Amino acid sequence: MAKISINLSSGELEKTPESDIIIGIDLGTTNSLVAYIHEAKAMAVAGADGKNTLVPSIVHFDESGQVIVGNEAKKYLLTDPQNTIYSVKRLMGKSYKDVSDAEQYLGYKIIDEDTDSLVKIRVRDRFYSPVELSAKILTELKTRIEATLGQAVSKAVITVPAYFNDAQRQATRDAGKLAGLDVLRIVNEPTAASLAYGIGLSPDESKKIAVYDLGGGTFDISILQIQGGIFEVLSTNGDTYLGGDDFDRAIIDFWLEKYHINKNILIDNKKISQQFRVAAEEAKKTLSLDNQYIGRIGEWSCEILKAEFENLISPLINKTLNSCKQALSDAKLTVENIDSVIMVGGSTRVPLVKKTVSEFFNQAVNDKLNPDEVVALGAAIQADILAGNNKDLLLIDITPLSLGIETMGGLMDTIIPRNTKVPAKAGRQYTTSVDGQKNLQVAVYQGERDLVSDNRKLGEFILRGIPPMPAGIPKIDIQFILDADGILTVRARELRSEIEQQIQVKSAYGISEEEMARMLLDSIQYAESDMKIRALLEARNEANNILLSADKFIEQNKTILNEEEIKETKRLTEALRQSVEGDDKDAINLAMENLNTYTTPLAHRAMDANIGAAIKGKKLG
């Protein structure tokens, strides 16, 4: 167990990386930003204008495939919505099924195949994963700080919401890797916010904190317990579709009603609709300071008083309090147990929000820092601690390389990511890929590369005696248990029959620090090609599954489909089969989408016909 870092230019191992700056990144739904420690103080980095530290999390692709990120990309939201991607954080680590309800909020195309595989976004004739899109935002932040510092940076701490699961955290790590960043740690946003306020920095501190985060489109409340320098998330709650944008919409509705303006104008005229949005946001921000807003939108003069605005938003704020109550109750605490309340997110600048939250928790809230920057500032502080610059803080042992198993197509599936605190325990459920499969081989690997063949094999075993079941039915739980000495126990268990098998390996055994450094260096150097291979293998796996079901589908529904439909389905299936033999993941995705689009209505019809037949066959009464 060790904390190691490498010098990217020389490839040498550095045990005391004081000289290297590690940056802190807040990769947000609406805005992202980067911060670092400058003269012992956390500072967010501004863009070329020297003022604006926020980079809108928006990516635009032009016809030639050129990418722009941030404010420049934001301009295309209205004029070129299909090619302007926003809110990609909502899609990280998610499958089509997970996001089907989010699609109505997004102006671009999510490829919806109603399957369990990870979402892709179609931009022109290319397919992008949320990881690739987030990497573009991270690259922009990396470029920004490199321009400010005049030197290259390669190490980062990135924050994620406390409720992010393993897949979402892994996706965030992958995005960092793809942007050429060695992600030393993924930190919870509320933890970072606490650190920014200096809470939890002393090892003998023991506190319970509420972090209230109201941004543009999302609301989160997290209850944390801090003890001995360790942050534990006791509970989280919130609303993924509640934020400052709703305040803006409430103002627009208020004006439409007050000035008897027909609602349809917002649907028919995008320019006016945008003008209303801009004016409403300006009104809201003005009312954070003044008692009245007077503005003009085309022919209309639009006014609103602070008291009117507060009336409009108080039901929305009350909704956030319900989440706070739930979070407290889940943490088995009451308001009296909370030692500090921290305000995060631009919308906490609204005075009524501050007042209501402060009354609810019965104490003054922490609101001195810029609420848009506090998470990034805290990430920079965490980065500084990792760099070893804050000697007072205890350093916890971490696992230096990721641990995982081999899955379909020779891909590495990481179960315990590198830099996880030890002891650690993590697991995941797998299933069989062939009908009646009796044995499952579990091969354990260590390393950062996407293909297991590029990683280091630690051991393998076979789980035997799985009762015969159709493919996909058995539930096989694989647990990784890493003890404080770096001994890894891997246990596989079929949940129905309870058969079990395990091995023990010493993960750090026989590997020199130089070798470890080389593995990390390779993972960065080959990140892009690895990602491409992974995307291709995943597309192929998915396509092969679809091909199997397409053949079955034609066979089973010969009588329901007409000749033309059978012919076209076969033609599209053949096209997919051919694309699978090639190396172009976009061609495979396109062929899958074509086949899927064509067969979905046929599948519905076949299902209806089969149900009809089943009912007919039953005797009634």
113 binds ligand AMP (CB under 6 A): no
- Whose Cβ is closer to ligand AMP: residue 114's or residue 290's? 290
Single-letter amino acid, residue 436: G
CA dist 133 and 87 (Å) reads 10
Round to whole Å and give the CA distance between 439 and 416: 24
The count of residues interacting with ligand AMP (CB under 6 A) is: 18
In this structure, what are the phi and psi dihedrals at residue 113, rounded to the nearest 5 degrees?
Answer: -115, 5
Residue numbers 280-339 binding ligand AMP by CB under 6 A: 281, 284-285, 288
Q: How far is the CB of 542 from ligand AMP (least distance, A)?
A: 34
Q: Closer to ligand AMP by CB, 54 or 422: give it.
A: 54
For the CB of residue 483, give the shortest distance to ligand AMP in the complex, in Å.
40
- Whether omega before 423 lies within 30 degrees of 0, making that bond cis, reads yes
Give DSSP secondary structure letters for 301-368: EEEEEHHHHHHHHHHHHHHHHHHHHHHHHHTT--GGG--EEEEESGGGGSHHHHHHHHHHHTS--B--
- Alpha-carbon gap, residue 504 to 499, rounded angstroms: 18
Structure-block tokens of residue 578: 């051919």
> Residue 223 or 350: which CB sits closer to ligand AMP?
350
On whether the CB atoms of residues 573 and 555 are closer than 8 A, the answer is: no
Query: Using an 8 Å Cβ cutoff, are 238 and 162 in contact?
Result: no
Q: Which of residues 27-46 bind ligand AMP (CB under 6 A)?
A: 28, 30-31
Which one is catalytic: 20, 26, 113, 373? 26
Question: Shortest distance, CB of residue 268 to ligand AMP, whole angstroms?
Answer: 25
Window 258-287: residues binding ligand AMP (CB under 6 A)? 281, 284-285
Is residue 486 at the binding interface for ligand AMP, with CB under 6 A as the rule? no
216 binds ligand AMP (CB under 6 A): yes
Task: Give least dist CB 248 to ligand AMP, A.
Answer: 7
Contact flag: residue 370 with ligand AMP (CB under 6 A): no
Which residue in 428, 402, 404, 405 sits closest to 417, CA to CA?
402
How far does the chain reach from its first CA to its final CA, in angstroms? 71
Q: Which positions from 339 to 368 touch ligand AMP by CB under 6 A, shown as an x/- string?
A: ------xxx-xx------------------
Nearer to ligand AMP, 246 or 406 (CB): 246
Residue 53 C-beta: closest distance to ligand AMP, Å: 11
Q: Which of 20, 174, 182, 189 is catalytic?
A: 189
* Closest distance of CB 285 from ligand AMP, Å: 4
Which is closer to ligand AMP, CB of 249 or CB of 518?
A: 249
Q: What six digits make up the tokens of 569?
A: 């389905």
> Closest separation between CB of residue 339 and ligand AMP, Å?
24
Closer of 346 and 404 to ligand AMP (Cβ): 346
Catalytic status, residue 146: no
Q: How far is the CB of 282 from ligand AMP (least distance, A)?
A: 9
Task: Give whichever of 99 and 287 is closer to ligand AMP, judged by the CB atom.
Answer: 287
- CB count, 10 Å around CB of 271? 9
Which one of 140, 182, 213, 220 is the catalytic residue? 213
**Measured CA distances, 322 to 219, 326, 361, 471, 503 (Å):** 12, 6, 13, 44, 47
Q: How far apart are CA 179 and CA 604, in angstroms?
A: 42
Annotated catalytic residue 39? no
268 in catalytic set: no
The burial of 332, by beta-carbon neighbours within 10 Å (0-12 exposed, 13-18 middle, 19 or more buried), is given as exposed
Question: Is 14 annotated in the active site?
Answer: no
Comparing CB distances to ligand AMP, the nearer of 159 and 420 is 159
Close Cβ partners of 391 (under 8 Å, ≥ 6 residues apart): none
Place of tokens 């402060």: 358
> Taking contact as CB under 6 A, which single stretch among the options 25-33, 182-190, 300-308, 542-550 is the one that binds ligand AMP?
25-33
DSSP 505-530: EETTTT--HHHHHHHHHHHHHTHHHH
Q: Which residues contact 419 (CB under 8 A, 6 or more apart)?
A: 3, 183, 184, 185, 398, 399, 400
* Minimum CB distance to ligand AMP smaller for 26 or for 593: 26
- Residues 443-472: x/- map of binding to ligand AMP (CB under 6 A)? ------------------------------
Nearest CA-CA partner of 520 in 455, 453, 452: 455
Stated as kind and residue range, the H or E segment containing 67 is strand 67-69
- Looking at the Cβ atoms of 3 and 306, the one nearer to ligand AMP is 306
3-state secondary structure 403-427: EEEEEHHHEEEEEECCCCECCEEEE
CB of 304 to ligand AMP, least distance (A): 13
Minimum Å distance from CB 350 to ligand AMP?
5
Q: Site for ligand AMP (CB under 6 A): which residue of 182, 189, 220, 245?
A: 245
Compute how many other C-beta atoms are within 10 angstroms of the C-beta atom of residue 129: 24
Which residues here bind ligand AMP, judged by CB under 6 A? Answer: 28, 30-31, 215-216, 243-245, 281, 284-285, 288, 345-347, 349-350, 372
Active site residue ranges: 26, 89, 189, 213
